Structure 1
Amino acid sequence: MNINRRVLLGSLALGATGVVPALAQDSKGLIVIITPSHDNPFFKAEADGADARARELGYETLILVHDDDANKQSELFDLAIARGAKAIILDNAGAEASVAPIQRAKDAGIPSFLIDREITQSGIAVSQIVSNNYQGAQLGAEEFVRLMGEEGEYVELLGKESDTNAGIRSAGYHDIIDQYPGLTMVAQQTANWSQTEAYAVMESMLQANPGIKGVISGNDTMAMGAWAALEAAGRTDVIVVGFDGSNDVRDSILAGGIKATVLQPAYAIAQMAVDQAHRYLTEGTTGLEEKQLVDCVLITPENASRLETFSLAS
């Protein structure tokens, strides 16, 4: 098994030989944190939140990145099992593809606690803690409709097809927007959660549909790519609404660029997962249902200044 791929490490570092050193004698054990690429600040916030809480509770941590590659994720689970992890905190690399490695960890006596993305089966992970993507998408759609004045042509940027959140957010958007006959979707295309892809897709959409008035995006990263393409084309009149609550979009909102986003509290959710892992390891139960929804918050120019690293100050 090749573990020398893109692996990011927290408080437990690999030695020069590639061998993970033994845990400290006073450690409560190892918690492995696995997320998509930290190039997306949302996933970095998840890893940072889980890492901070786990170390606060007395655990050592191993922070790994699967890059949305299900095969790499499977290898990382093998690494976690080989290291005798006490628990795994996971933002998964595919709702269906993640079932087998989570089951493999469970069979090895290692419980998994999922954040951000659900899997297709229940009873394998101990917890699945996700933002209420449907509720959040409806908040974003309501603001989008208001900003659009209930009329005009718009386009939609979709997330990665293998991610259930992409479909849930799109459904939430359309259950609101489709109630307004004056709003017409003239294009809909995936940009796979990528800023670079969103830039290219937005360029093509704009060329084919020069009359568009709005863009609704499945996440902030794609919203930023779309906004960059619109700026390059001199179309800063186009209304863009995102989803996630990133600092980049916050700054754009405050500068009068992107108009709104929807915050899903990534940092707090990751810490909730670690708290539940700790309770499960010490008491044998989390005391909670497996599937848990955390409500999202609309971010506009009125409250954007209170947003920092996927958390809204009171």
Structure 2
Amino acid sequence: MKKVIFALAAIGLLLTGCGGATLDKSDDSDTKGAVAEKKPEELVVGVSISTLNNPFFVSVRDGINELAEENKTKTIISDAQNDSSKQSNDIDDLIQQQVDILLINPVDSSAIQPAVEAANQANIPVIALDRSSDGGDVMSLVASDNVKGGEMAAQFLIETLGENAKIVQLEGIPGASATRERGEGFEKGAKDKLEIVDSQSADFDRAKGLTVMENILQANPDIDAVFAQNDEMALGAIEALKAANKTDVIVIGFDGNDDAIKSVENGDLTATVAQQPTEMGKLALQAAYDYFSGKTVDEKIDSPLELVKK
């Protein structure tokens, strides 16, 4: 009898060791990918946005809400205000409220990891928006191809100014995946063709974009162009350039928010690598619907990009 019990226990341990980690809310590792199906109107979706001071992320939120209203889905939305600690606390609150799924737009891709892991422990699936997490299990990332977008910006400057033009780059929040990827793409596209004379962080913020640009101009008064890793920094840079009477300097942004598109139309912002944030929000929520209907969800869902210029 003891031998039988020992054999059964060994089999149990073997099965446990072979079962992969899943986002399933059941404990049955033999049904990896299975989920208790729910209709959209039965779901409670927790949403953590990095900041609602940025029009881009307001549009992401609006896209989520538009599709949620159409399908009578309850959403609980929190604004991290670009504070990683606040975002972690917000996500803890959403986990305590037992939401069915989390849509997370991280402030910082590294700092968000413990919050993602906490959601994993609670068996709450996670979809990342625009920026990834450096760790934990994320079911899907809904984002534009940031590397490609950075390359598009570099190519536009080469076509417009020719090679060897002097360029300044305004970087986003250090640690954000979008910052790394847009910078990687831009520097790859610019290599041996453009001279990047300075590259500094302005935290994806318009006011900081203005201040950082003012400081850069003091050391580099003869630049030809600015690549800002988002439109908010680009619009701030334009104000600094105007104040310094540098109206011949080309500025290209990234995102395609409403203020940027208007600025392009007015002839202030030269161009922007435009994402579609409203569509991005809808794609993320649709991925949640697909998951709870038993469909396979891609690990990476691409949101389209286009270059917008006058």
Q: Structure 1 length normalisation: TM-score?
A: 0.82
**Structure 1 residue 98: Cα displacement:** 1.4
2:242 corresponds to 1:228:
no
Match of 2:296 in 1: 287
- What is the aligned partner in structure 2 of residue 20 from structure 1? none
Instruction: For 1:33 and 1:50, locate their aligned partners in 2 and report how far apart those are by CA, in whole Å.
Output: 9
Cα contact 2:108–2:173 (8 A) shared by 1 = no
Match of 2:110 in 1: 96
Instruction: Give 2:88's match in structure 1, choosing from 70, 74, 78.
Output: 74
How far apart, CA to CA, are the structure 1 residues paired with 2:308 and 2:50? Answer: 24
2: CA distance between counterparts of 1:229 and 1:289? 42
What residue number does 2:275 align with? 264
Counterpart of 1:137 (choices 135, 141, 150) is: 150
**Residue 175 of structure 1 corresponds to which residue in structure 2?**
188
Inter-partner Cα distance in structure 2 for 1:281 and 1:131: 24
Unaligned runs of 5+ in 1: 1-25, 302-314
Q: Does 1:189 align with 2:200?
A: yes
In the TM superposition, what is the alpha-carbon distance from 1:27 to its structure 2 partner? 4.6
Q: How far apart are residue 58 of structure 1 and its match?
A: 2.0
Q: Which runs of 5+ in 2 are unaligned?
A: 1-39
The alpha-carbon deviation at position 68 of structure 1 amounts to 2.5
Q: Deviations over 1:41-91 (max 9, x none)?
A: 011111111111122222111111112222211211121122221111110
Question: Structure 2 CA distance, aligned partners of 1:166 and 1:37?
Answer: 15
SS at match of 2:58: helix
Contact 1:136 1:262 in 2 (8 A): yes
Q: Structure 2 CA distance, aligned partners of 1:250 and 1:184?
A: 27
Mapped to 2, the partners of 1:229 and 1:189 lie a distance apart of: 15
Output the amino acid matched with 1:135: K
Which amino acid is the alignment partner of residue 160 of structure 1?
I
Contact 1:31 1:54 in 2 (8 A): no
The aligned amino acid for 1:157 is L
1:299 aligns with 2:287: no
How many Å separate the matches in 2 of 1:115 and 1:38? Answer: 14
Partner residue in 2 for 1:253? 264
Q: Say if 1:133 and 1:296, in contact at 8 Å, map to a contact too.
A: no
2:221 aligned with 1:207, yes or no? Answer: no
Determine the C-alpha separation between the residues in 1 that align with 2:164 and 2:94: 52
| Higher alpha-carbon deviation: 143-152 or 26-35 | 26-35
The one-letter amino acid paired with 1:227 is I
1:151 equivalent in structure 2: 164
Please tell me the residue identity of whatever aligns with 1:267: T
Shift of 1:93: 2.3
Structure 1 residue ranges (4+ consecutive) displaced by more than 2 angstroms after TM superposition: 149-152, 291-295
Larger radius of gyration: 2
Tell me the number of residue pairs that the alignment of Structure 1 and Structure 2 aligns: 271
Residue in structure 1 matched with residue 139 of structure 2 by the alignment: 126
What CA deviation, in whole Å up to 9, does each residue of 1:190-231 have, x standing for no partner? 111111111111111112111111111111110000001111
8 Å CA contact 2:41–2:71 kept in 1: the answer is no
SS in 1 for 2:108: coil
Tell me, what secondary structure is at the counterpart of 1:243? strand
Aligned partners of 2:53 and 2:81 also within 8 Å? no
CA contact (8 A) 1:147 1:239 kept: no
Give aligned-pair identity as a percent. 30
- Within the alignment, does 1:48 sit opposite 2:62 as a pair? yes
Normalized against structure 2, the TM-score is what? Answer: 0.83
Instruction: Select the residue among 100, 103, 120 that pairs with 1:106.
Output: 120
Which amino acid counterpart does residue 246 of structure 1 have in structure 2? N
Q: Distance in 2 between matches of 1:263 and 1:271?
A: 17
